[in-house]
Amino acid sequence: MSGAELVTLGCRLNIAESERMRAMMAGERDLVVVNSCAVTREAVRQTRQAIRRARRANPAARLIVTGCAAETEREAIAAMPEVDGLVANAAKLDPRAWNLPETAPPAPKHRTRAFVAVQNGCDHACTFCVIPQGRGASRSLTIAEVLREVERHLMEGAPEIVLTGVDVTSWGHDLPDRPPLGALVQAILEGFPDLARLRMSSLDGIEIDPLLFELFASEKRLMPHLHLSLQHGHDLILKRMKRRHSRAQAVKLVSDLRARRPDLAVGADLIAGFPTESDEHHEANLSIVRDLQIVHCHVFPYSPRDNTPAARMPQVDRAIVKARAAELRAVAAATQAEWLATLVDKPLSVLAERDGSGYAENFARIALPDGMAAGTIATLTPRTIEGRLLV
């Protein structure tokens, strides 16, 4: 092989970081970097599989692992015979960690949606989560730093910017005067009037500040797509997870936003089979999908992680966990299908991707007509549904 190959697992933050590493390593040869994920046991298993596949495909290359699994599973990953070395997650964007010159890397070539990591790390202590162990304390880019990143992507022609991070709504808490996330979003929209689309990645609803709420409600360039780090639909389980919101608060947030912006599409992360979860708790998880009309749902079957409080709680039988996750996915799929049906025969503004599909402002996936170039934004009117694709 020639040049550096990046293998990316996990979240949008990892995607954004891999793009920066790819630009930084543009002149490297015979190097494979696995940017790993450790959010669940399954993510760690997939990381190990990716390492083995990468080694089989590139037997003579140097293979380096970074990312969250390189922190939380450091000894086990380092002991894999396929691995030549690890780079600390906190150091992976530092050229010195890769023995590269300390010069500013070129702007990464954008995807049609450019991910800008405005924040990293997490100061919270959810009982199921190992990410603070892999990412460290919360730290924010300044507004000026974010604006420079956005400008670089716009100069490359990116039509949509996605703000991402580990705990995006904690952005600014470590900066002077503790600016709210809404101030950053407002600065981007005011600073770049030609920016067509700004999208937020997963948010902690309890930390959505009044300015950000108002921008979601009224700013057309801020996409009507709210993805919540919800995790569960029952208050007792939320308390045992050490989440900071209640079910009622999540319902009120969505209701208040939809009253101002009826086209708002809601996504959420939900965990099935959390320790001590009863049938009643599970029913609350199912019902919140329907009550909030969650149309972009990420379902995670709970898996215990070492050194987390939840791993020491009474566990739900694995067969029940899998069955509840399947039921939750089925309800989410039915809710999404009902929503997609309401979009048929309606004109939608669609950003074309490179795979023959594109995304509407509400993140509905739309089939593209022949010849529509990636990065183009056009109004399309879907006429039917095939699976989860409007065509």
Grouping H, G, I as helix, E, B as strand and the rest as coil, residue 86 is strand
The pLDDT value given to residue 35: 95
In this predicted model, what pLDDT tens digit does every residue of 334-363 receive, in sequence order?
999 999 999 999 999 999 998 899 999 999
Q: Look at residue 259 in the predicted model and tell me its pLDDT.
A: 97
Task: Give the model's pLDDT for residue 3.
Answer: 65
* Residue appearing with tokens 């990412």: 135
Mapping DSSP to helix (H, G, I), strand (E, B) and coil, where does residue 315 land? coil
Element (H, E) at 338: helix 318-343
What tokens appear for 194 in the block?
A: 């030609």
* Rounded Cα distance, 146 and 129, in Å: 27
Distance CA 7, CA 82 (A): 14
- Buried b / exposed e over 251-275, threshold 16 CB at 10 Å, is eebbeebbeebeebbbbbbbbbbbb
Alpha helices in 242-297 (DSSP H): 247-260, 279-292
In the chain, the domains with their CATH numbers are 4-98 (3.40.50.12160), 113-341 (3.80.30.20), 348-390 (no CATH)
Nearest 5°: CA angle at 124, between 40 and 136? 70
Task: Look up the pTM and report it.
Answer: 0.87
- The rounded distance, in Å, linking the Cα atoms of 389 and 336 is 11
**Rounded CA gap, 11 and 157, in Å?**
23
Q: Counting Cβ atoms within 10 Å, is residue 218 exposed (0-12), middle (13-18) or buried (19+)?
A: exposed
Which helix (DSSP H) or strand (DSSP E) does residue 330 occupy? helix 318-343
Q: Which residues of the chain have pLDDT under 70?
A: 1-3, 103-111
DSSP secondary structure of 159-203 = SEEEEE-SSGGGTTTTSTT---HHHHHHHHHHH-TT--EEEE--B
Q: Quick one: which H or E segment has residue 64? A: strand 62-67
Residue 201, Cα to own-chain centre: how many angstroms? 6
Burial class (CB in 10 A: 0-12, 13-18, 19+), 198: buried
